[in-house]
């Protein structure tokens, strides 16, 4: 990865002191979004609250639809995107759960909607703090899922998400995940690009892909257009449903290269990139112990890795930035030389393991020599993952590397007995 001078050097970028939610709102403001439909839910509320200010002040052309539920929010986005709009919404936890059936519809109709998920625990008992089980719940819906580590990345990734979603090789909705409160409500100094540069990056307003159907001689835009009518989502039984699912399978295959390209293109413009866009690694080259993690906890893990490295321990980390599609081959390539891998999940599939553990486990099966894998469930309901706790996990993993003995395949980090 060559170092280049960014097209817009840092001093030409505007410095903002904002929290993660506001950073997302700023990104949406600059992304020429036609429709925003949303319903408030903590810790997402600030995104649409801030964005509605932009609308009220006439700073954006966006049609803002205040809906009566998240189910309606995503439905409105589906309708808007099917009509050719660039559409955005944001939610968290229970709101995301209420969106569930429409998530599948957005993905299978190939509508490039962008959704900010401010990760929060699902009820009951009611809890508004950070947890990834909401995002893991939409794992199989056909959405691209990106997880960010900090507020700057929340801004950058939200803009990138439109670029990824609308790429003709992809045409899938993209969810940008940011940790509730740890990012959504934490102020950070970030740099934002000039509006014009963002517009150019996105290629202006949304471009509509074309489609060929039997009853028109030429390709027609894939939109709801009375002059060139198309039927979206009609009854599709055992004769064609399976074939249509293959379209989603194929589209997902193209996502990694597009995410990588967009990450590099963003780097050329802004000077910022996040690993290769898919995995963000630190100290993995000669590491015996590697920990994988999603979201803001990666910052703490990196801090602990640096500390242990200074003590001479061969440890490293991978931050999984793209969770769907899951980078099976890429992660296996990094983990194949490790002795022990700790997989951190801020969520759990009850009766099974953490959700990223299942994918990493599957990634490694084909290796001739596999590292030992231990799943660490941590931080449920916003429980703090302190450096001390993460260091304790590394110490356990170092001990396993020495002894080869795994007492428990799944560990619960920081829970009281």
Partner 1 sequence: MSQLRGWKELPLGAVAFRLSTDYKTGDWRALKPVVDHNKCVKCMLCWIFCPDMAVIWDGEKIVINYDYCKGCGICAHECPVKAIQMVPEFEEG
Residue 129 engages partner 1 in binding (rule: CB under 8 A) = no
Stretch near partner 1 under the rule CB under 8 A, chosen from 32-40, 184-192, 245-253, 258-266: 245-253
Interaction mask 326-355, partner 1, x per CB under 8 A: ------------------------------
Please say which residue, 203 or 233, places its beta carbon nearer to partner 1. 233
Pick from 57, 204, 212, 405 the residue near partner 1 by CB under 8 A.
212
Pick from 57, 58, 204, 214 the residue near partner 1 by CB under 8 A.
214
Residue 211 engages partner 1 in binding (rule: CB under 8 A) = yes
Residue 109 engages partner 1 in binding (rule: CB under 8 A) = yes
Please say which residue, 1 or 246, places its beta carbon nearer to partner 1. 246
Residue 11 engages partner 1 in binding (rule: CB under 8 A) = no
Please say which residue, 244 or 395, places its beta carbon nearer to partner 1. 244
Residue 86 engages partner 1 in binding (rule: CB under 8 A) = no
Residue 218 engages partner 1 in binding (rule: CB under 8 A) = no
Interaction mask 132-161, partner 1, x per CB under 8 A: ------------------------------
**CB atoms near residue 21 (< 10 Å):** 28
CB of 87 to partner 1, least distance (A): 15
Residue 68 engages partner 1 in binding (rule: CB under 8 A) = no
Please say which residue, 203 or 229, places its beta carbon nearer to partner 1. 229
Please say which residue, 250 or 333, places its beta carbon nearer to partner 1. 250
Residue 209 engages partner 1 in binding (rule: CB under 8 A) = yes
Spatial distance between the Cα atoms of 36 and 89, rounded to a whole number of angstroms: 6
Residue 84 engages partner 1 in binding (rule: CB under 8 A) = no
Spatial distance between the Cα atoms of 326 and 350, rounded to a whole number of angstroms: 21
Pick from 59, 196, 232, 352 the residue near partner 1 by CB under 8 A.
232
Pick from 14, 15, 240, 388 the residue near partner 1 by CB under 8 A.
240
Phi-psi region of 58 (alpha: psi -120 to 50; beta: other; left: phi over 0): left
Residue 101 engages partner 1 in binding (rule: CB under 8 A) = no
Residue 110 engages partner 1 in binding (rule: CB under 8 A) = yes
Pick from 15, 56, 213, 362 the residue near partner 1 by CB under 8 A.
213
Pick from 5, 57, 125, 215 the residue near partner 1 by CB under 8 A.
215
Q: Which tokens in the block code for residue 319?
A: 């931050």
Give the per-residue SS3 of the chain: CCCCCCCCCHHHCEEEEECHHHHHHHHHHHCCCCEEEECCCCCCHHHHHHHHHHHHCCCCCCEEEECCCHHHHHHHHHHHHHCCCCEEEEECHHHHHHHHHHHHHHHHCCCCCEEEEEECCCCCCCCCCCCCHHHHHCCCCCCEEEECCCHHHHHHHHHHHHHHHHCCCCCCCEEEEEECCCCCCCCEEEEECCHHHHHHHHCCCCCCCEECCCCCCCCEECCCCCCCCCCCCCCCCCCCHHHHHHHHHHHHHHHHHHHHHHHHHHHHHHCCCCCCCCEEEECCCCCCEEEEECCCHHHHHHHHHHHHHHCCCCEEEEEECEEECCCHHHHHHHHCCCCEEEEEECCCCCCCCCHHHHHHHHHHCCCCCCCEEEEEEECHHHCCCCHHHHHHHHHHHHHHHHHCCCCCCEEEECCCC
Stretch near partner 1 under the rule CB under 8 A, chosen from 187-195, 231-239, 331-339, 386-394: 231-239
Residue 236 engages partner 1 in binding (rule: CB under 8 A) = yes
What does the binding site for partner 1 look like in residue numbers (CB under 8 A)? 108-111, 171, 209, 211-215, 222, 230-234, 236, 239-240, 243-244, 246-247, 250
């Amino acid at each position: 990865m060559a170092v280049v001078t960014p097209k817009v050097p840092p001093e030409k970028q505007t410095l903002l002191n904002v929290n993660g939610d506001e950073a997302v709102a700023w990104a949406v403001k600059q992304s020429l979004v036609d429709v925003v439909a949303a319903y408030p839910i903590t810790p997402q509320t600030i995104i649409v609250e801030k964005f509605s200010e932009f609308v009220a002040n006439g700073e954006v052309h966006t049609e803002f639809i205040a809906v009566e539920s998240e189910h309606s929010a995503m439905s409105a986005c589906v309708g808007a995107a099917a009509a050719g709009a660039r559409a955005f919404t944001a939610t968290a936890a229970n709101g995301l759960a209420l969106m569930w059936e429409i998530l599948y519809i957005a993905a299978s109709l190939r509508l490039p909607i962008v959704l900010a998920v401010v990760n929060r625990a699902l009820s009951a008992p009611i809890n508004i703090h950070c947890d990834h089980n909401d995002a893991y719940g939409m794992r199989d819906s056909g959405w691209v899922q990106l997880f960010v580590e900090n507020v700057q990345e929340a801004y950058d990734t939200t803009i990138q998400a439109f670029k990824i979603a609308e790429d003709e090789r992809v045409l899938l909705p993209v969810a940008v995940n940011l940790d509730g409160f740890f990012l959504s409500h934490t102020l950070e100094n970030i740099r934002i690009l000039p509006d014009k540069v963002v517009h150019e990056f996105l290629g202006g307003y949304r471009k509509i892909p074309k489609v060929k159907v039997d009853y028109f001689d030429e390709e027609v835009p894939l939109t709801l257009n009375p002059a060139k009518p198309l039927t979206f989502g009609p009854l599709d039984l055992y004769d064609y449903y399976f074939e249509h699912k293959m379209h989603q399978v194929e589209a997902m295959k193209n996502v990694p290269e597009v995410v990588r390209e967009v990450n590099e293109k963003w780097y050329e413009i802004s000077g910022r990139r996040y690993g290769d866009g898919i995995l963000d690694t630190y100290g993995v080259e000669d590491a015996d112990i590697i920990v994988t993690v999603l979201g803001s906890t990666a910052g703490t893990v990196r801090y602990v890795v640096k500390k242990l490295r200074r003590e001479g321990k061969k440890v490293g980390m991978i931050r999984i930035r793209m969770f769907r599609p899951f980078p099976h081959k890429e992660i296996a390539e990094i983990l194949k030389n490790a002795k022990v891998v700790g997989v951190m999940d801020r969520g759990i599939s009850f009766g099974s393991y953490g959700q990223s553990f299942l994918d990493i486990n599957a990634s490694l099966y084909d290796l001739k020599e596999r590292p030992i894998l231990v799943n660490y469930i941590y931080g449920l309901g916003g429980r703090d993952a302190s450096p001390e706790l993460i260091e304790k996990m590394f110490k356990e993993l170092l001990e396993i590397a020495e002894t080869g003995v795994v007492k428990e395949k799944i560990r619960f980090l920081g829970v009281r007995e």
